[in-house]
Chain A
Amino acid sequence: MSLEEKTEEDKIEVVGQFKHVQVRTATIILKDGKEISRSFHRRVIDPGADTSSESAEVKGICAAVHTETVVNAYKAHLEANKPGE
């Protein structure tokens, strides 16, 4: 019997007006090559966020959708939606 663990970014979604990139990483446990378990970890990449540690695929998507226009719009959105004291 062999157990193997692997991870993969099994879902990458671009959502909303500001093109947030939602990345789901699946941790998959294989027993003798057959999947017996799958669990998920998620994170969101905001427009303008540092993507240097991301996979090439995620970097590429972020580069494509997080245009200067989108990043600036998101910055303006954050500024406009700061809650007051």
Chain B
Amino acid sequence: MAITKLNSLAIPANTVVAADLSYPLTNFSSTGIDDNADATALTISSSEYVGIGTAPIVPLDVVAKTGAHAITMRARSNNDYAFFSMRSYDGTEDLGDIAIQRTAADTGRMLLYTNNGGAATTKLTIEPNGDIKANSGNIVIGTSGKGIDFGATSDGSGSDTSELLDDYEEGTWTPTLTNGVNSISYGSRTGHYTKVGNLVFLDFYIYYAGTGSGAQYLISGLPYAQKNANYCRGGGCSTYQNYGGKVVTFYGNQGTSYIFCYKDGSTSFTSSGTVGNYMIGTFTYQTD
């Protein structure tokens, strides 16, 4: 359709140096836009959505064409950053950013920023070599049973059953002598544990008084039940104990929450008469 009427045309003198205007516009250039497309590249829909390479279905919709890259952001200068910024509705708050920093030729570091009051700061960095650094804050495993998978390392000589590190915890427990001493009272007793994966390391300190019953000492109150598997017993020994002049060895019982006390290898550790003694030691075992 030919243009038959122009309501207004006000182009200041010398603004347009060269122009080729026809309808529809197939080619034009201006100070800010240079259109050399030979097909539709940019679409603005009736919903005011903008599509690049596609009819848009969201406010800004970009589809990759011959290459996989749909959007490229460049640093403003060498060894500088390219930022993708996400802000609050009114645009005044910089809530989060993704940045790439060029550190050398063909070398880039990715940084993730979040805002915890004030300005967004780097929280996570992926170094050019793939190392991941939590700049501040912890790495939190949000799903029980998930963790760090070391499956890429097949360096054990035994039979691997798991290469997933899925737990770590520190805390306290209350060691209790549930056998071997009658009318027991405690001057003090405390225990600490550290659990890494399915391995639990305990230390404990018991100062007790009572009357030895002649029965084998049991220490109960473990923070986790022991693994219920045949021949899985754990082990440990006293580091200080002052009854009978013997080192006490600790022997676990699969599928329970207590350990047996021995002396001289396989002789039950017992006491008799009035006792008031220390039982201090360590014990290591596995859990299910």
Contacts and interface: CB of A to CB of B under 8 A. Distances in A.
B288 A85 contact: no
B257 A20 contact: yes
Given A16-B225, A85-B267, A40 B255 contact: no
B145 to A, nearest CB: 12
A17 B229 CA distance: 10
Contacts of B174: 41, 43
A9 interface: no
A53 interface: no
A83 B225 CA distance: 18
A17 B172 CA distance: 25
B175 to A, nearest CB: 11
Given A24-B171, A83-B260, A44 B253 contact: no
Contacts of A36: none
Interface in B138-196: 169-174, 193
Contacts of A18: 225, 228, 255
A83 B251 CA distance: 9
Taking each of B172, B225, B268, which has the highest tally of chain A beta carbons within 10 Å of its own beta carbon?
A: B225
Tell me whether chain B's interface is mostly helix, strand or loop, or mixed.
loop
B266 interface: yes
B85 interface: no
Contacts of B101: none
B222 A15 contact: no
Contacts of A46: 225, 256-257
Contacts of B287: 15
Contacts of A41: 171-174
A17 B227 CA distance: 10
B83 interface: no
Contacts of B170: 40
A67 B257 CA distance: 18
A44 B223 contact: yes
A52 interface: no
Contacts of A44: 221-225, 257
B284 interface: no
Taking each of A16, A18, A39, A74, which has the highest tally of chain B beta carbons within 10 Å of its own beta carbon?
A: A16
Contacts of B267: 85
Interface string A3-42: 0000000000001111010101000000000000001111
Given A40-B172, A42-B193, A43-B174, A16 B222 contact: no
A16 B255 contact: yes
A59 interface: no
A43 B171 CA distance: 11
A15 B200 CA distance: 15
Contacts of A42: 171-173, 193, 223-224
A73 to B, nearest CB: 10
A20 to B, nearest CB: 4
A20 B257 CA distance: 9
B254 interface: yes
Nearest to B258: A46
Given A17-B255, A39-B172, A77-B255, 10 more contacts: A15-B225, A18-B225, A40-B171, A42-B223, A42-B224, A43-B173, A46-B257, A83-B251, A83-B253, A83-B260
Ordered nearest first, which 5 A-B pairs have the shortest CB separation? A40-B171, A42-B223, A20-B225, A44-B257, A16-B288
